[in-house]
Amino acid sequence: MPNLQSILVNGASGQLGQSFQQLAAHYPQYEFVFADRASFDLAQDSSIEAYFQQHSFDLIINCAAYTAVDRAEDELELADAINHLAVAKLASIAVKQQVKFIHISTDYVFNGEQFRPYIETDKVDPQSVYGATKLAGEQAVFKTMPLDALIIRTSWVYSPFANNFVKTMLKLGGQRDTLTVIFDQLGSPTYAPDLAETIMQLVTHQSFNQQGITTQLYHYSNEGVCSWYDFAKAIFELSSIDCEVLPIETKDYPTAAIRPHYSLLNKAKIKQQFALKIPYWKDSLIHCLAALKET
Ligand SMILES: NC(=O)c1ccc[n+]([C@@H]2O[C@H](COP(=O)([O-])OP(=O)(O)OC[C@H]3O[C@@H](n4cnc5c(N)ncnc54)[C@H](OP(=O)(O)O)[C@@H]3O)[C@@H](O)[C@H]2O)c1
């Protein structure tokens, strides 16, 4: 297979999709095409079909997903259509068109009962509709596309774009004197621009540019570990926002979907295979806050 030339990024208006839009100029050797809901609707098989009858690329990067974790508990069918059935469809199109596929998944495939960072082969046991539909999406990729696909599980994604925890904290911190934030869920934040850059390092890697590579699963987040409480504290300290953060337990903040108490991802596999250096979460948070200041 010749080196990749054209890349479709769908979910272009989401956090990761917008991070790719910002990054594209640094990779002039590729022709990037960005697709959003108006290009094709992942909830409709016929819409996906119609789009790919007209278009073909060397690589599809699927950044789109149904990410409303709590709403998914009431919208199982829609979440499954987008996170599972559409992913199976995209993978089958990639096979038919003989192109590569990169898909993003989540730490919510785990039950969070473990106390050492999760490796790719650890037992999955999603506790929410979102986690279950994302897992079904992963399994569909492996079944449909045993070759030429990559799946990257990530966690706690934030960025200067769309909606996320950092932007919510900045807004609430400016309005209130105190905030209560959960301290008994541990994980690692992922700065979406770091993930986009990492994906491009994989894409440009010589091993990815061979035909017939075995489909692989990788874990990726920023380095380090924190609770949502620590994350909120860091956001306020680094932004000089005078808002007191009070730690609360998960049971004191009931949500429709169950979230893992512990979802730290072990990144040894991706780091070793691609000689990656991953930024520490607080260093990336500083970048995000600086980018938000500029907007
Ligand atoms: N956010 C997190 O904390 C987190 C954690 C772990 C893993 N992940 C995974 O990381 C990936 C990127 O997440 P993100 O935070 O960038 O997500 P995001 O900001 O919520 O963006 C999701 C994108 O999917 C698009 N989308 C949703 N339904 C669609 C449909 N029916 N047809 C076409 N497009 C549709 C949305 O379009 P609209 O803008 O039109 O709605 C949006 O652009 C996803 O696979 C997600 O599951 C995220």
The pLDDT profile of the chain, 295 residues, written as one tens digit per residue, is: 447 999 999 999 999 999 999 999 999 999 999 999 999 999 999 999 999 999 999 999 999 999 999 999 999 999 999 999 999 999 999 999 999 999 999 999 999 999 899 999 999 999 999 999 999 999 999 999 999 999 999 999 999 999 999 999 999 999 999 999 999 999 999 999 999 999 999 999 999 999 899 999 999 999 999 999 999 999 999 999 999 999 999 999 989 999 999 999 999 999 999 999 999 999 999 999 999 998 8
Q: Is 121 a domain residue?
A: yes
Looking at the DSSP assignment, which residues form a beta bridge with residue 149?
Answer: 101
Strand 59-62 relative to strand 100-106, pairing: parallel
Question: How far is it, in rounded angstroms, from Cα 60 to Cα 17?
Answer: 12
Domain count for the chain: 1
Query: Whole-prediction pTM value?
Result: 0.97
Q: Is 86 a domain residue?
A: yes
Q: Is 154 a domain residue?
A: yes
Give long-range contacts, CB 8 A cutoff, 24+ apart: 51-56: 52/93, 52/97, 55/8, 56/97, 56/99
Helix (H) or strand (E) holding 78: helix 76-80
Report which ligand 1 atom has the smallest distance to the Cα of 134: 47
Q: Is 84 a domain residue?
A: yes
Q: Is 116 a domain residue?
A: yes
In this structure, what token pair is assigned to residue 4? Answer: 């990749």
CB 208, CB 218: distance < 8 Å: no
CA of 269 to the centre of ligand 1 (A): 25
CA of 82 to the centre of ligand 1 (A): 10
- Residue 13's nearest CA partner among 42, 47, 55 is 42
Q: Which domain holds residue 48?
A: 6-159+189-222+264-279
Output the domain CATH number for residue 52. Answer: 3.40.50.720
Q: Is 167 a domain residue?
A: no
Q: Is 207 a domain residue?
A: yes
Going by alpha carbons, the residue nearest to atom 10 of ligand 1 is 104
- Residue 62's nearest CA partner among 105, 107, 4, 108 is 105
Pocket (CB within 6 angstroms of ligand 1): 11, 13-17, 36-37, 41-43, 63-67, 82, 104, 106, 134, 154-157, 162, 192
Catalytic residue ranges: 130
Q: Is 211 a domain residue?
A: yes
CA of 2 to the centre of ligand 1 (A): 30
CA-to-CA separations, 64 to 9, 85, 154, 232, in angstroms, rounded: 9, 13, 14, 26
CA of 40 to the centre of ligand 1 (A): 14
